Amino acid sequence: MVDGAEITGLDVLGLGDVDPYPEPVEDGATFEDNALVKAREAVARTGLASLADDSGIAVDALNGMPGILSARWSGPAGQDGAGQDERNNDLLLAQLADVPTQRRGAAFVSVCALVLPDGSETVVRGEWRGQIVGERRGTGGFGYDPLFLPDDDIAAGRTAGELNPAEKDALSHRHKALQQLLPALAELAEA
């Protein structure tokens, strides 16, 4: 069943299930580029079909930034990454301090790349539209979730940081991207 997301015949492995290898440098100019860098490297290192995601937030008033720089918007992460989300949120709020609510449109973006050992590639993009609020709301999720107010009626005025995990998963950019990959995954399972 593809629409219900039930696909049998695939064994799903995580990075912890394969021999370790160095993370590839994400030096692409787009989410698509970086997702493909990661998926291609995984195929080259493991010989297995590989799925990789690159994601972030694109703010309209900032011409789509932080975009692919979302995780390191406020500079390189510390050794343990502690406080990076807080610094990124502080910087985004400062950059939008004088921007009126109606111009704070944004989208969480997720690009998933499925690369097969035969070299075939499927790339899909999911977007979750909303706006950036003026202060953190909620403690759930991670990254920019406390600042992102989804357009979805289901969210009912709550930021992504105020949604429970099941609500967020059902609405998110990753969900939308992965839904688009279901036919390719079903085809892979049948092969």
Q: How do residues 45-103 score in pLDDT, each as one tens digit?
A: 999 999 999 999 999 999 999 999 999 999 887 555 558 999 999 999 999 999 999 99
**pLDDT digit string (tens) for 111-139?**
999 999 999 999 999 999 999 999 999 99
User: Under a CB-based contact definition with an 8 Å cutoff, are residues 70 and 87 in contact?
Assistant: no
Q: Which residues pair with 124 in a beta bridge?
A: 112
**CA contacts within 13 A on the Cβ side of 63:** 0
The residue type of 125 is: R
Q: What is the pLDDT of residues 9-51, one digit of tens each?
A: 788 889 899 999 999 999 999 999 999 999 999 999 999 999 9
Told to judge if 152 belongs to the known catalytic residues of this protein, a careful annotator would answer no
What residue spans define the domains of the chain?
A: 15-190
6 vs 12: CA distance, rounded Å: 13
Query: Which of 108, 125, 107, 119 is closest to 35 using CA atoms?
Result: 125
| Range list of β-strands (E), 35-104 | 50-59, 65-66
Q: How many residues does the chain have?
A: 191
Out of 11, 19, 54, 151, which one is annotated catalytic? 54
Using CA atoms, how far apart are residues 116 and 114, in angstroms rounded to an integer?
7
**Is residue 107 pLDDT above 60, yes or no?**
yes
Enumerate the known binding-site residues for Mg(2+). Answer: 54
Instruction: Supply the pLDDT for residue 81.
Output: 54
Binding residue numbers: 54-55, 142-145, 168, 173-174
Q: Contact, 44 vs 37, CB < 8 A?
A: no
What is residue 2's predicted lDDT score, i.e. its pLDDT? 37
CATH code, residues 15-190: 3.90.950.10
Is pTM beyond 0.85? Reply is: yes
Other C-beta atoms within 10 Å of 60: how many? 15
